[in-house]
Amino acid sequence: MDNERGSFSRVGFILAAAGSAVGLGNLWKFPYTVGENGGGLFVMVYLASVIIIALPVLIAEITIGRYTGKNPVGAFNAIKPGSPWKLVGYLGVASGFMILSFYAVVAGATVGYFFKAITGQFKGMTGDAAGSMYTNFTSNSWLQIFLLAVFIFLTVYVVSRGVSGGIEKFSKILMPALFCILILLLFRSLTLKDASKGIEFYLKPDLKALKPKLIIEAMTQAFFSLSLGMGTMITYGSYVSKKENLATAAGWIALFDTGIALLAGFIIFPAIFSQGMDPAQGSGAMFNVLPVLFAKMPGGVIFGPLFFLLLSIAALTSTISILEVPVAFAIDEKKWNRKLAAIVIGSMAFIIGIPCALFPGFMSLWVQIWGGFALSIGALFIALFVGFAWKTSDARHERKVGGGGLRLAPVWAVAIRFVAPILILLILLGSFL
């Protein structure tokens, strides 16, 4: 492998891929999406989507990546030279820009909240006060743009230093630290007054909530949370050694990511209900409720800033993996050097991010199109590609290189050829009708 690309060490890959997967998708997007879709039923459909649809796609992406050792465009081209399949790769590169642009705005907000926390602004916080704090914060245009710029800068900095140097190191300390602080938050939230109402909302399926919108949002949330459908996992797979057992790695990544998302719900919903807030309040939920929790928590002055710091880093390990896709494309296909690619592409994402930072309506449209629809299309074509264009037997052979994990190979073959594409197609069609 040439120097411009770099590669991961053995555990490094699981850590880096989990670092990509775990981020704002788990702590910010998952809880508010659960809230908007009526609670428990969404959680069940989400879990089913992760296992039946997303996990097979995750294995497929990593396998394509390692087999070809390339970015998404190069990878499709390597397996089916000169075919239109590389358009799927281009869609991924484009989605990369677009997702980075809105994601970095929310990530910038976590940095902003870190400063609020460390300067003691959560003191004595109530639900109402936290709500107006968030409104004031998001309507401060210059601050939003500034924080967006800060976050894009951090992402560009890490990506320009290369995969093994930059990305691995961050993930190693981050995961355990984030997990510990989430457990503390969990205890505080579960012991609040009326916590059980939140738990009931979160776990008890209400069949009245069943709508096409719920199913499509559950599926796209599974893709978003596991970083699927735009080639992030193809790109990360391209840095994996042939010794790695891909199916096992995929299983761990999905388990970590889903565990953290579920944990986030157990923190957010009891807190929402104990404050008498609306669970369907939308994308501000996390920012409206956590300051209250920290204010009510012994040691909250320390844990508040620590949490937002860790969350910012978790978001950074995700934005890195998003920017890495167009950067790997520019390095492999356009022969740019890594640094130039990171700076140019990062600046473009910053420009597209400005309207997201200024107009909440634009932001939610962008989340829907690029963070949802485009990923489903991408995942659909990745499944069809591995299942039919590239024979699953070749893909199985590639997985065998790492040894083990083959007992379930026939199950995976059926899942990636039939179950996943048919379900994705039906769900997409259902949401149009």
Least CB distance to ligand TRP at residue 185 (A): 18
Could you give the 3-state DSSP secondary structure of residue 380? Answer: helix
C-beta closer to ligand TRP: residue 122 or 223: 223
Local structure of residue 1 (DSSP, 8 states): -
Nearer to ligand TRP, 110 or 392 (CB): 110
Cβ distance to ligand TRP smaller for residue 160 or 227: 227
The alpha carbon of 223 is separated from its chain's Cα centroid by a whole number of angstroms, namely: 8
Name the residue with the smallest CB distance to ligand TRP: 25
Give the separation between CA 381 and CA 375, rounded to whole angstroms. 10
Neighbouring residues of 70: CB distance < 8 A, sequence distance ≥ 6: 77, 78, 234, 238, 328, 332
Please, are residues 96 and 374 in contact by the beta-carbon 8 Å criterion? no
**Closest distance of CB 101 from ligand TRP, Å:** 13
Binding site for ligand TRP (CB under 6 A): 20-21, 23-26, 99, 224-225, 227, 230, 232, 318, 321-322, 375
Closest to ligand TRP by CB, 20 vs 63, is: 20
CA distance 182 to 122: 18
CB of 95 to ligand TRP, least distance (A): 7
Minimal distance, residue 432 CB to ligand TRP, in Å? 22
When the beta carbons of 192 and 254 are compared against ligand TRP, the nearer one is 254
Residue 211 exposed, middle or buried by CB count within 10 Å (0-12, 13-18, 19+): middle
- Please, what is the minimum distance in Å from the beta carbon of residue 251 to ligand TRP? 17
Q: Which is nearer to ligand TRP, 96 or 284 (CB)?
A: 96
Query: Tokens 């879990």 appear where?
Result: 47
* Euclidean distance between CA atoms 260 and 311, whole angstroms: 12
CA angle (267 as vertex; 262, 269 as ends), nearest 5: 90
Based on CB atoms, which residue is closest to ligand TRP, 122 or 239? 239
Give the helix ranges, DSSP H, for 275-373: 285-295, 300-334, 338-358, 360-368
Closest approach of ligand TRP to the CB of residue 88, in Å? 14
DSSP 179-212: HHHHHHHHHHHHTSTTHHHHHHHHHS--GGG--H
Pick the closer one to ligand TRP by CB: 23 or 346: 23
**Closer CB to ligand TRP, 230 or 423, in the complex:** 230
DSSP for 253-275, please give it: HHHHHHHHHHHHHHHHHHHHHHT
CB 279 within 8 A of CB 53: no
Nearest to 320 by CA among 165, 163, 111: 163
Residue 410 in contact with residue 392, Cβ under 8 Å?
Answer: no
Exposed/middle/buried for residue 264 (C-beta within 10 Å: 0-12, 13-18, 19+): buried
Q: Smallest distance from the beta carbon of 302 to ligand TRP, in angstroms?
A: 25
- Smallest distance, ligand TRP to C-beta of residue 370, A: 9
